[in-house]
Structure 1
Amino acid sequence: MSTVAPQRPAPLATGGFGALRAPGLAATATVAVMTTVALVDPNQPGHYPTCPFLALSGYYCPGCGTLRGLHDLAHGDLAGALARNPLMVLAAGGLLVAFVLWSRRLWLGRPRTRVAPAALLYGLLALVLAFWVLRNVPGWNWLSPA
């Protein structure tokens, strides 16, 4: 009676262009979404749904103004994007940096060595919650979507 050794799955690419499949797909999806938002103006009513939180409560959520801000970014209007949702602009910058670091790590064939520390994740949660509250404070119109 012979035993057959279980087959191992094929190893992942260890660097170079083959390792950039996932970042390539993410970049393609991002370009598709940004092209759609750039071409279909969210400032015109009827193109996108209204924020359900705003419709139900009358208060702005942390994401209110994000589509209009992305539309402004797609047209190179950083000041307009900051007026719509400054947290989104910061998040977009952070995601861009994370994407570059992820792509570089995969290109060089380096394994992931760490995950985000809990303190960073709790800090991001506190930032989003503080932004949510502060943009609804009467008189603080500079944080509300313009």
Structure 2
Amino acid sequence: MDASASPAAAAPDPAPVPGPGHPAAPVPPPASRLRRLAAPVGAMAAVVGAFGYVAAVDPNEPGHYPVCPLLRFTGVFCPGCGGLRSAHAFAHGDLAAAFGANALAVVGYAVLAVVWLLWTVRASRGRPLRIGLAPRYWWGVGAVFLVFSVVRNLPFGSALAP
């Protein structure tokens, strides 16, 4: 029997399927505006839910939330200490108490609100959100957290302590 006469040898090789970026690759249809806004709207729903919970369950009353482990075992305030009390006051519209509990958290709420707004606008226009910060900016953010942590634990920085 001749090996070239077999049916497997007679079948041609399948044509390669073009991949992404190939000129012949099919272009997916653009996503609808509702689908593009699903992620930012979902993220905002989670934030609203979290703030709603903290607004309803007062962190100033003991027993509702766990104690900060760093504060419990060392007596040192971490950058997040007072964050729940700050969120509770912020949710109730008391900005003075929110700043008094954790000023860095209130600044963080404002920064995250701006990023969320930018994300929503870009998503509605069909463009992705890209936050490309150079490493020196991330080091700067870390330095701000470190300085905030140190100052709030010193006698002259007691105004920053929760």
TM-score w.r.t. length of structure 1: 0.90
Letter in 1 for 2:136: A
Structure 1 pair 13–41 and aligned structure 2 pair: CA distance change class (3 A) = farther
Query: Using the alignment, how far apart are the partners of 2:109 and 2:122 within structure 1?
Result: 20
1:43 correspondence with 2:60: yes
Mean Cα displacement is larger for which, 18-27 or 112-121? 112-121
1:31-110 correspondence runs (5 A): 31-110=48-127
> Is contact 2:79-2:149 (8 Å) kept?
yes
How many residues align structurally?
145
TM-fit CA distance, 1:32: 0.8
The structure with higher relative contact order (CA 8 Å, sep 6+) is 1
* Structure 2: unaligned runs, 5 residues or longer: 1-11, 21-25
Cα deviation, 1:4-63, whole Å, max 9, x if unaligned, reads: 626769848556222111101101111110110000000000000000010011010000
Q: Which moved more, 1:33-42 or 1:16-25?
A: 16-25
Q: CA RMSD in A?
A: 2.2
Percent pairwise identity: 41
TM-score, length-scaled by structure 2: 0.81
Q: CA deviation at 1:112?
A: 4.3
Among 36, 48, 67, the residue aligned to 1:19: 36
Deviates more, 1:10-19 or 1:73-82: 10-19
